[in-house]
Structure 1
Amino acid sequence: MSVAKIGIIIGSTRPSRIGPSIATWLKQNLQTADLNVDIIDLAKINLPLLDETHMPSDGHYELKHTKDWSNLIQGYQGFVLLFPQYNWGYPAPLKNALDYLYSEWRGKPVSMVSYGGRGGYQAALALSLVLRGLKFNRLSNNLEISLPAAELDDKGQFKDPAKSLAPYKFDVRQLSAEFTHVLG
């Protein structure tokens, strides 16, 4: 088997977000000899609100940022969507990034890693409908990471990311095995 490329898409662009530290931990624990994992930060991609004239399902992109986004995404065999729960939903930048493309997502395996005070179940539930519409291959291993206030500092960041995320290590290993199996 060749090495598969997996992209962890950080779905929040808030300046105070905890997503990058979770993404770094996920990458370290998801990557294996069979999986090469990259972090794709939507704050750095900086897509404007969907501004293409044509429907994404047509595959006719006119704007450079859309073509660049399409080319980037086409280089991956699977994805982990990492996002917080905002008012029982997922962040608008993630929805926007998904809506820019269509065929680039089709059939690719995807896992959701939500986080929040109670893990982000409602956000994952809402996003699962979008993933179905985009024809992703939704994996069975999805994580809901709870953020206990006692483990966060006064800026909302982990005091000790490795310790706080340790309870999810087995689940990430299971996800890694599922990606390897599906892409093998």
Structure 2
Amino acid sequence: MSVSKIAIIIGSTRPSRISPSIAQWLQTNLQTADLAVDLIDLAKVDLPLLDEAAMPSDGNYTLPHTKKWHDLITGYQGYVLLFPQYNWGYPAPLKNALDCLYSEWRHKPVSMVSYGGHGGFQAALALSLVLRGLKMRWLTNNLEITLKPDELDDNGQFKDAEQALAPYKFDVRQLSAEFTHLLH
């Protein structure tokens, strides 16, 4: 059996974000012998705001950064979108990254992992409409991670990420199994 590749796309670019530690924890807990999991950090990808002349649905990419983004994304069979809830929405860099491409997303399995003081339900709800528009295969396992103030330090980072995220471990195993079932 071959190994399937999925990517966790870190949707926040805010300097004080907690998402890299969540992403690393997810990667460790999602990865199996049949499932390779990479991290894509939108802060490092640094996509400009929709600067291609043609619509992404045309697939006529002319700018080097869009071609590079296309090449990166097409190397994966599925995605986990990791993002915080900002004022009941999701971060603009994530929307931009999705909107820069079109057919590359079609029919690919996707899971959402939102987080925030209340888990990010509203942000996940808003993003689900975009994923439907892109015709992605929305998985049944999606996580809403509630950040508890007593588990965070003065800089808003986990005191102990493993302990804080432990309640979500079963859900991540279920997500891993769902990806493995769909991709094999």
TM-score with structure 1 setting the length = 1.00
Corresponding position: 1:62 with 2:66: no
CA distance in structure 1 between the partners assigned to 2:77 and 2:53 by the alignment: 27
Q: Alpha-carbon deviation of 1:158? A: 0.2
CA RMSD of aligned residues (A): 0.3
Secondary structure of the equivalent of 2:157? coil
CA distance in structure 1 between the partners assigned to 2:5 and 2:57 by the alignment: 24
CA distance in structure 1 between the partners assigned to 2:4 and 2:50 by the alignment: 29
CA distance in structure 2 between the partners assigned to 1:42 and 1:102 by the alignment: 17
Percent pairwise identity: 79
Partner of 2:122: 122
Partner of 1:161: 161
4+ long deviations beyond 2 Å: none
CA distance in structure 1 between the partners assigned to 2:13 and 2:157 by the alignment: 15
Partner of 1:141: 141
Q: Alpha-carbon deviation of 1:62? A: 0.6
| 1:24-63 correspondence runs (5 A) | 24-63=24-63
Deviations 1:146-177 (A, max 9, x none): 00001000000000000000000000000000
CA distance in structure 1 between the partners assigned to 2:57 and 2:2 by the alignment: 29
| 1:73-84 correspondence runs (5 A) | 73-84=73-84
How many residues are treated as equivalent by the alignment?
184
CA distance in structure 1 between the partners assigned to 2:33 and 2:124 by the alignment: 29
5+ residue gaps, structure 1, are none
Partner of 2:91: 91
5+ residue gaps, structure 2, are none
CA distance in structure 1 between the partners assigned to 2:16 and 2:29 by the alignment: 24
TM-score with structure 2 setting the length = 1.00
